[in-house]
C-alpha cells in the first residue's frame, strides 16, 4: 500500500510541475521598433530649430567668449528632413541629426564625427547648446547661436 501511495504522490508532483511550467510560459509579441531619420520635435520647436544659425559665443569653465579666430564663421543649419550642415572650428561638414530626450545627436561625413548636444534654450532668436568634449578631456562648452542673416 505504501508503494502505491508513493507512486500516486510522484505522479501528482509531476503533474503539478508540468502544469506550473505551462502556466508560466507566455506568448510574447515582438515589440516593433520604429526608426526614423526625421526628428521627433513638436512642430513649433522644429520650426524654431530648423534654420541656419551662426555662432555668437562659447562659454567654457564659466567664461563667455565671442566667436573669434577659427570660430568666427562657425555655424549650424538643421533641416527638417534630418540633415544638417555644420562648420566647427572653421571645418565644414554635412550629416544627419536626430532628436531624443532633449538632445540633438548628429553624425557627420568628411570628417566622420558624432556629436551630441543638449538643448539648453531654443527660441526664434536664440539657440543654446551644451556639448561635452570626448575623453580624456570631458570638459563642457555652451554654444550660443543666433539666426543667420
First to last CA, the chain: 98
Give me the CATH code for the 43-147 domain, please: 2.40.128.280
Strand partners, 144: 57, 128
Q: What is d(CA 104, CA 35) in angstroms, rounded to the nearest whole number?
A: 15
Q: What is the pLDDT of residues 80-136, one digit of tens each?
A: 999 999 998 899 999 999 999 899 999 998 777 888 999 999 999 999 999 987 767
Kindly report the average pLDDT of the chain as a whole number.
80
The answer, yes or no, to whether residue 12 has pLDDT greater than 80, is no
The answer, yes or no, to whether residue 64 has pLDDT greater than 60, is yes
pLDDT (mean) for 137-146: 91
Nearest partner of 58 among 114, 134, 133, 113, judged by Cα: 133
For residue 86, count CB atoms less than 10 angstroms from its CB and return exposed for 0-12, middle for 13-18, buried for 19 or more: buried
Q: Dihedral (C-alpha) 93, 98, 99, 101: value to the nearest 10 degrees? A: -110
Domain ranges, ordered by start, for the chain = 43-147
Amino acid at each position: 500500500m505504501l508503494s502505491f501511495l508513493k507512486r500516486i504522490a510522484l505522479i501528482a508532483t509531476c503533474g503539478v510541475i508540468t502544469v506550473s511550467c505551462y502556466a508560466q510560459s507566455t506568448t510574447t509579441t515582438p515589440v516593433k521598433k520604429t526608426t526614423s531619420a526625421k526628428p521627433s520635435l513638436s512642430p513649433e520647436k522644429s520650426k524654431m530649430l530648423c534654420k541656419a544659425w551662426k555662432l555668437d559665443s562659447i562659454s567654457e569653465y564659466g567664461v563667455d567668449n565671442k566667436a573669434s579666430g577659427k570660430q568666427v564663421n562657425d555655424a549650424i543649419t538643421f533641416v527638417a528632413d534630418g540633415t544638417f550642415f555644420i562648420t566647427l572650428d572653421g571645418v565644414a561638414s554635412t550629416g544627419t541629426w536626430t532628436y531624443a530626450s532633449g538632445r540633438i545627436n548628429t553624425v557627420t561625413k568628411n570628417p566622420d564625427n558624432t556629436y551630441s548636444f543638449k538643448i539648453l534654450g531654443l527660441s526664434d532668436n536664440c539657440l543654446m547648446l551644451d556639448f561635452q568634449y570626448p575623453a580624456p578631456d570631458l570638459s563642457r562648452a555652451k554654444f550660443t547661436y543666433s539666426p543667420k542673416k
